[in-house]
Amino acid sequence: MNVHRFALTPGEPAGIGPDLCLLLAAQAQPRVLVVVADLELLHARAAELGVQVDLVAVSPGRWPELPAPAGTLYVWDTPLAIAAQSGQLDPRNAAYVLETLTRAGQGCIDGDFAGMITAPVHKGVINEAGTAFSGHTEFLAELTGAPQVVMMLATQGLRVALVTTHLPLKDVAAAITGDRLEQVTRILHRDLVEKFGLNRPRILVCGLNPHAGEGGHLGREEIEIIEPCLERLRADGMDLVGPLPADTLFTPKNLEHCDAVLAMYHDQGLPVLKYKGFGAAVNVTLGMPIIRTSVDHGTALDLAGTGRIDTGSLQVALETAYQMAEAAKAP
């Protein structure tokens, strides 16, 4: 694995992903960064934004060895089906979006890249084009052959992983099984060790119900599923605390002494994290044989081509990927 070279996919071509890549070029990156995108798209968007960026074409067998200087962007030219207009979705370019992800992901598998960073895609337009697509995570899990993946968001001082992700609230309780909880916890623990360099991570685990079930009076999932699972994993040496009531878990006293929080469902953990670090948070996919980080926001079609965007989340995603690659190569 080349720990100094990374792939960046700009996502939906009509959104702010191309803009983020171009604005990022204003500062030199500490690692070699290759944008997997259509060259003409980037030229056109740079003109629209009024920024000067030197776009240098690279490709397999012609990878750069040194980071690009400020004002320069390495681009692996990946052609669009049709020219993209800022803010205007076109299903004909859905295959292009998937091709950028495939190139970057396969490049990580082949060792050309130490990891990949993704700007936002538009799920709706990909599905409208006739391809069943539920998100980056599932697409890359299939590409890499990962049987189970875990979504984790992180910002300064807080990491939150999820047992369930994009489920209706009415379906969450049934999805919290002992097997699922054990798999997710093992992946979280392993990747905190192997990809974040934490020797013995301390993980705080949320209960599912208010007050973590109130001793069974507000639900029995904690007693029948969560607590037995955590006891099994503690016997394997994991430092797990919980299940804890989610309304008091996210306090400075508790978070000061933990490396990650494991939430049972999407809106249990992520509102706290996004309140703490929106615009400076990163989405990390755990459980894959490759490193993948992403921004914490959407395509923002209405802002594409305007220049009124913040590259903060992308910068955090890049820095996190760089740090994970360094931790992964450490003995």
Per-residue pLDDT tens digits for 78-106? 999 999 999 999 999 999 999 999 999 99
Rounded CA separation 300/280 (Å): 16
> Which of 227, 106, 110, 121 is CA-nearest to residue 178?
227
- In the annotated binding site, the residues are 136-137, 166, 211, 266, 274, 283, 292
Statement: the pTM of the whole predicted model exceeds 0.75: yes
Rounded CA separation 102/108 (Å): 10
Rounded CA separation 233/229 (Å): 6
Residue 179 tokens read as: 């097997």
- pLDDT(299) > 70: yes
Phi, psi of 145 (to 5 degrees): 75, 25
- pLDDT(1) > 60: no
How does residue 279 score in pLDDT terms, banded at 50, 70 and 90? confident
Per-residue pLDDT tens digits for 186-210? 999 999 999 999 999 999 999 999 9
- In the annotated binding site for substrate, the residues are 136-137, 274, 283, 292
Residue 53 tokens read as: 């960026």
Per-residue pLDDT tens digits for 32-59? 999 999 999 999 999 999 999 999 999 9
Q: What angle do CA 22, 27, 67 make, to 5 degrees?
A: 95
> Which of 262, 259, 198 is CA-nearest to residue 230?
262
Number of residues that this document lists for the chain? 331
Per-residue pLDDT tens digits for 142-185? 999 999 999 999 999 999 999 999 899 999 999 999 999 999 99
Phi, psi of 149 (to 5 degrees): -125, 160
User: What pLDDT is attached to residue 2?
Assistant: 67
How does residue 137 score in pLDDT terms, banded at 50, 70 and 90? confident
How does residue 135 score in pLDDT terms, banded at 50, 70 and 90? confident
Rounded CA separation 250/136 (Å): 28
Question: Are 110 and 33 a contacting pair, CB within 8 Å?
Answer: no
Residue 12 tokens read as: 């939906």
